[in-house]
Amino acid sequence: MTAALIGADRAGRAAVITREPAVVCGIPYVEAAFAQVDARARLDWQIAEGDAVAADQLLLNLAGPARALLTAERTALNFLQLLSGTATAAHSYAALLEGTNCRLLDTRKTVPGLRSAQKYAVRVGGGHNHRMGLFDGILIKENHIMAAGSIARAMEAARRGGARVPVEVEVENMEELQQAIAAGADIAMLDEFPLQAMRDAVALNARAQKPLKLEASGGVTAATLREIADTGVDFISVGSITKHVRAVDLSMRFEWNP
């Protein structure tokens, strides 16, 4: 209703700038927001998806019906701020893994309703998606193991299901890792393993007839990421890049056409 205060025939221009350095993500979402309100809105991007930008840099010029620009503004900026924040966080971690064979993974700890968008932003930032939901990968966690009776029984149940997806087992110690290897898991998640225990796990896995992929998880920070990668694990999952994301500070400056 607020935008209805503006005459329907009034034209306007606007510019979107960033107040802080960021990795830009969300261009398709911004374009969709304006297109759904009024197809006459014209967007002229000054940057590309995934670009690293500096504070006070111009991202976008807009022109079109003023009412439409004001109506779509908040939705468009919400997407751009949140997804750029996610991509920026993912990039900050992924950059620390450069030169290693280890990959950064996200988790399912995402903002409700925005999982696909945030996982897209993780990829833009240089990370990789772990799994989208419960359908494209089986993760056997502590509660599943307890309910099934053992890692071996949980693995048998997973294989009987017939789903052709990777099966991962969360392990908390070396004995459980050995059980996961023996049961034929595809991946083992090393949950809260100290660094030396991770090194021992990598060595144990390398001696296996059929080695698994190893994922380190739990308590990972930017300060510990490189040390964890240097143990030889294949993946490091970090929930904070989507769960604790901080929106990038953006501003849309509006001008009236004469």
Catalytic residue ranges = 74, 109, 141, 170, 191
What is the helix (H) or strand (E) element at residue 178, kind and residue range?
helix 174-183
E strands, 138-244, are 138-140, 167-171, 187-191, 213-217, 235-237
Rounded to 5, what percent of the chain is helix, strand, coil? 40, 20, 35
Instruction: Provide CB contacts within 8 A for 244, sequence distance 6+.
Output: none
- Residue 126 has a CB neighbour count (10 Å cut-off) of 19
The amino acid at 67? R
CA distances from 216 to 13, 16, 158, 171, 226 (A): 49, 39, 22, 10, 12
Q: How far apart are CA 227 and CA 217, in angstroms?
A: 13
